[in-house]
Amino acid sequence: MSSVFGSGKIIKSDEFLHQIHGFIRVHKDGRCERLVGYKTMPTGIDPSTGVHSKDVVISPETNLSARLYIPKTTTPDRKLPILIFFHGGGFLVESAASPTYHPTLNLITAESNVIVVSVNYRLAPEHPLPTGYNDSWDAIKWVASHSKGGGPEPWLNDHGNFQKVFLAGDSAGANIAHNIAIRAGSEPIESISLEGVILLHPYFGGKDPIGSELGKHKQIKVYTDQFWKLANSSVSGLDDPWFNPEKDPKLSGLGCSKILLCVAEKDSFRDRGLYYKELMDKSGWPGKLEMIETKEEDHVFFLFRTSSPNACTLRKRICTFINQVNNASRF
């Protein structure tokens, strides 16, 4: 049972319209009460890495924002890759300012020498999907608006390399990164080059259980499926192509040349990650998928134990992936 999801028990109550035990309650008047992921950390200079961060508004009309990170090693004559990051939380909780993400993104910024744009997309159920996907797409277009040096954000104008753009995310954020890459394949943004996608313990699913979902993770699949059902109000359910890549006719058109897929041995979503690799290998997509599995670890462990050997190893692999793709040609 994944420690991230606690007991994974489904608790019914007449007191609330919807409830995911330990995460969120939707009251009968429509008010959402988030039990986790609501705390925030301030921006500034991180004392351990020297990374600078700040919050920016992308769209005042929709309240879309992002947290930007830039390494202390920036120089006027060197452009840095741009990593657009989408946080997890089942589409329902967490934010770009969360203490769950801020320390890890400081480390990734410093160790990979990239500019990070951590997208603060709107959350369901107040803003049901596809709002989160559309916000994330708008964020990429906002990043691209700086490609000629005339955008509203100086860090991107002065230091961003728009021919070396990457998408990344964990859990539900990895789901977003995948689906945004699919959209980029059919609606390419000409002013940027999407080089690679980093999927950290992606949250995928489907109506029919696979692998450990048939056995030891049967209960937790029922529990985690609730996140998708609450976030997505469409009638397509668990086999929606956004959630189940097997059902996506556009899978072979994913718009980048390389994917880094990361799974964890004890994660209930591990088999979904393995199945994703199988689907991509068979899809006809012309890029290259690399997969790494971290032994003896659970879902998104690297966010909670940032200094552990396995977390450090994973971040080194991310750095290597970015550097490798940074020197590769487009397909």
| Catalytic residue IDs | 171
Q: How far is CA 44 from CA 33, 70, 74, 121, 315, in A?
A: 29, 11, 16, 21, 22
What does DSSP say about strands 16-20 and 80-86: parallel, antiparallel, or unpaired?
Answer: unpaired
| Distance of alpha carbon 139 from the chain centroid | 13
Contact between residue 122 and residue 63 where contact means Cβ atoms under 8 Å apart: yes
Beta sheet of 32-34, edge-to-edge order: 16-20, 24-27, 32-34
* Structure-token pair, residue 307: 């200094």
Bridge partner list, 264: 294
Instruction: Show contacts of 146-149: CB within 8 Å, 24+ apart.
Output: 147/191, 147/192, 148/191
Check: CB of residue 311 under 8 Å from CB of residue 301. yes
Task: Quickly list DSSP for 139-152.
Answer: HHHHHHTTTTS-SS
Distance CA 141, CA 82 (A): 13
Q: Are residues 109 and 118 in contact, defined by beta-carbon separation less than 8 angstroms?
A: no
For 224-285, list the strands marked E by DSSP.
258-264
Q: Quickly count helices (H) and strands (E) in the chain.
A: 7, 12
Q: Which residues, at least 6 apart from 100, have a Cβ–Cβ distance to it below 8 Å? A: 37, 87, 94, 303, 304
